[in-house]
Structure 1
Amino acid sequence: MSEVRGDAQDETELAVEGALRPGSLAEFVGQTKVRGQLQLLLDAARIQQRPADHILLSGPPGLGKTTLAMIVAHESEKPLRLSSGPAIQHAGDLAALLSSLVPGEVLFIDEIHRMARSAEEMLYLAMEDFRIDIMVGKGAGATSIPLDLAPFTLVGATTRSGMLPNPLRDRFGFTAHLEYYEPNELEQVIARSASMLDVDLPPVSRAEIARRSRGTPRIANRLLRRVRDYVVVHGGSSSAATIGDVAAALELYDVDDLGLDRLDRAVLDALVRRFRGGPVGLNTLAVAVGEEADTIESVVEPYLVRIGFTERTPRGRVATRAAYAHLGVPRHDGALALDDL
Structure 2
Amino acid sequence: MAFGPLDAPPPPADDPPPADPTAMIRSRRTARPSAAVRAALTVPKSPQARMARQPTYRGDDAEPQDAPPPRPARGTSRGEPDDTPAPGTPDAEFENSLRPRRLSEVVGQRKVVERLGITLDAARRRGEPLGHLLLDGPPGLGKTTLATVVPRELDPDGGPGNIQFTSGPALRAPHDLVAYLTCATRGSVLFIDEIHRLPPAVEEYLYPAMEDFRVDIVMGEGTGARTVSLNIEPFTVIGATTRSGMLTAPLRDRFVNHERVEYYEVSDLAEIVRRNAAKLGLTVEGDAAEQLARRSRGTPRKANNLLRWCRDFTQVHSERGVLTPTLAARALEMREVDALGLEDQDRRYLRTIIEAFAGGPVGLSTLSHALSVPTDTLEDEVEPYLLRCGLMQRTSRGRVATVRAWEHLGLDRAADGGSLF
The TM-score range, normalised by the shorter chain, is 0.7 to 0.9
Q: Quick check: 1:247 aligned with 2:325?
A: no
Question: 1:167 pairs with 243, 250, 253, which one?
Answer: 250
Indicate the residue corresponding to 2:168 in structure 1. 85
User: What SS does structure 1 have at the residue aligned with 2:105?
Assistant: coil
Question: 2:263 pairs with 180, 201, 223, which one?
Answer: 180
TM-score, structure 2 as length reference: 0.69
What aligned pairs does 1:153-232 form with structure 2 within 5 A after superposition? Answer: 153-232=236-315
> For residues 106 and 270 of structure 1, do their structure 2 counterparts lie closer, same or farther at Cα, with a shift above 3 Å needed?
farther
> For residues 116 and 297 of structure 1, do their structure 2 counterparts lie closer, same or farther at Cα, with a shift above 3 Å needed?
farther
Q: Quick check: 1:63 aligned with 2:145?
A: no
> For residues 56 and 18 of structure 1, do their structure 2 counterparts lie closer, same or farther at Cα, with a shift above 3 Å needed?
farther
> For residues 251 and 144 of structure 1, do their structure 2 counterparts lie closer, same or farther at Cα, with a shift above 3 Å needed?
same
Question: 2:115 pairs with 10, 30, 37, which one?
Answer: 37
> For residues 184 and 111 of structure 1, do their structure 2 counterparts lie closer, same or farther at Cα, with a shift above 3 Å needed?
same
Q: Distance in 2 between matches of 1:326 and 1:17?
A: 41
What aligned pairs does 1:1-341 form with structure 2 within 5 A after superposition? Answer: 15=93, 18-77=96-155, 78-136=161-219, 143-236=226-319, 238-269=320-351, 272=354, 277-278=360-361, 280-281=363-364, 285=368, 289-291=372-374, 293=376, 296-313=378-395, 317-328=399-410
Confirm or deny: 8 A CA contact 1:277 1:335 kept in the other structure. Answer: no
Q: Which has the higher contact order (CA 8 A, sep 6+)?
A: 1
> For residues 270 and 56 of structure 1, do their structure 2 counterparts lie closer, same or farther at Cα, with a shift above 3 Å needed?
farther
Equivalent pairs, count: 326
Which structure: greater helix fraction? Answer: 1
Which amino acid is 1:230 matched to? F
Indicate the residue corresponding to 2:22 in structure 1. none
Structure 1 residue 315: Cα displacement: 5.9
CA RMSD of aligned residues (A): 3.2
Indicate the residue corresponding to 1:3 in structure 2. none
Structure 1: gaps spanning 5 or more residues = 1-9
Confirm or deny: 8 A CA contact 1:277 1:336 kept in the other structure. Answer: no
Structure 1 residue 303: Cα displacement: 2.0
**Bigger mean CA deviation after superposition, 281-290 or 307-316:** 281-290
Which amino acid is 2:135 matched to? L
Q: Distance in 2 between matches of 1:124 and 1:256?
A: 48
Which amino acid is 2:405 matched to? A
Structure 1 residue 130: Cα displacement: 1.4
Q: Which of 1 and 2 has greater Rg?
A: 2
Structure 2: gaps spanning 5 or more residues = 1-87, 156-160
Structure 1 residue 299: Cα displacement: 4.4
Q: Distance in 1 between matches of 2:366 and 2:227?
A: 43
> For residues 243 and 175 of structure 1, do their structure 2 counterparts lie closer, same or farther at Cα, with a shift above 3 Å needed?
same
Identity over the aligned pairs, expressed in percent? 47
Which amino acid is 1:247 matched to? A
**Bigger mean CA deviation after superposition, 111-120 or 53-62:** 111-120
**Bigger mean CA deviation after superposition, 277-286 or 321-330:** 277-286
> For residues 17 and 288 of structure 1, do their structure 2 counterparts lie closer, same or farther at Cα, with a shift above 3 Å needed?
farther
> For residues 39 and 324 of structure 1, do their structure 2 counterparts lie closer, same or farther at Cα, with a shift above 3 Å needed?
same
Indicate the residue corresponding to 1:4 in structure 2. none
Structure 1 residue 250: Cα displacement: 1.1
User: What SS does structure 2 have at the residue aligned with 1:175?
Assistant: strand
Confirm or deny: 8 A CA contact 1:266 1:289 kept in the other structure. Answer: no
Structure 1 residue 306: Cα displacement: 1.4
